[in-house]
Amino acid sequence: MNLLMCPVCQKQLVLNDRTWRCETNHSYDVAKQGYVNLHVVQHKHSKNPGDTPESVQARRAFLSAGHYAPLQQAVVEKIRQLRIENLLDIGCGEGYYTNAMQAEVLQCVGVDIAKNAVQVAAKLNSEVTWVVGTGATLPVLEHSIDLCTSLFSPIPKAEILRVLKPAGYLMVVTPATEHLYAMREALFEEVKPHDSSKFVEQLADAFELIDEQVVCADLVLNQTDLKNLIAMTPYAYKAKPERRLALEQHEQFDLTAQYQIYVFKKKS
């Protein structure tokens, strides 16, 4: 089944000769890199929304080195246990997690608002349907998705409820309490523990929490990996430049990554 939806008229899109087209004849060409851009001009709030090219390249380099592999493996295992047919990864970025998810399902759609990120992702895995799109209007048909995933990304609740099947699932991955605490201490004068439980409260009226897990990984980073980690996070522009520079002088830096995984089921 074709899962994609025309962002203009909300009709089903059908792929024919590298062009996605709806019955009212809106058409969207597949780019040479292998993705389709369904982020139409009327939905844009800036010329180049989403992550910067520098952030995307830093994330690709850091994740490719395997530092977040324990999280990727834990996410894949949870998807395997759910035994579903299709999933939509919201905020797929440069595709590190989406690429691994695809092997566990029949159909996998990765969507991100940052075109430069999707261009990088599309080179990873041609079996994924890669889409430039916005969470404000998720580019898939209503009640068509078994599982929506949001890893360190926004959670457009109303849209997720629209696209999920009646008994569909939502997986949220967010920083756990101590995530990258040593790095944050080096970058900021005041550091507060992450509060991941707020998502449970925000979703409680529409979703039942059925599973949760904290995944920890001890990281020993060389200078290049440390710079990439800083560059791929919001801390890159939130920290004072002198603090960032001082941290980047470390030839080795030890810290702990700690991730919170939640799995929710849509309430009937």
Q: Is 216 annotated as a binding residue?
A: no
Distance CA 38, CA 126 (A): 18
Cβ atoms of 267 and 207 within 8 Å: the answer is yes
Residue with tokens 């995944």, as numbered in its chain: 215
Closest-CA residue to 64 (of 111, 104, 116, 100): 100
Distance CA 196, CA 174 (A): 6
Torsion of CA 72, 76, 79, 80, to 10 degrees: -170
Would you state the structure tokens that stand for residue 234, as one six-digit string? Answer: 């919001």
Would you state the structure tokens that stand for residue 49, as one six-digit string? Answer: 């929304």
Half-sphere CA count of 221, side-chain side, radius 13 A: 30
Q: Is 250 annotated as a binding residue?
A: no
Q: Is 108 annotated as a binding residue?
A: no
Q: Is 235 annotated as a binding residue?
A: no
Residue with tokens 């970058």, as numbered in its chain: 187
Q: Is 94 annotated as a binding residue?
A: yes
Q: Is 127 annotated as a binding residue?
A: no
Binding site per annotation, positions for Zn(2+): 6, 9, 22, 26
Binding site per annotation, positions for S-adenosyl-L-methionine: 68, 94-95, 179
Binding site per annotation, positions: 6, 9, 22, 26, 68, 94-95, 179
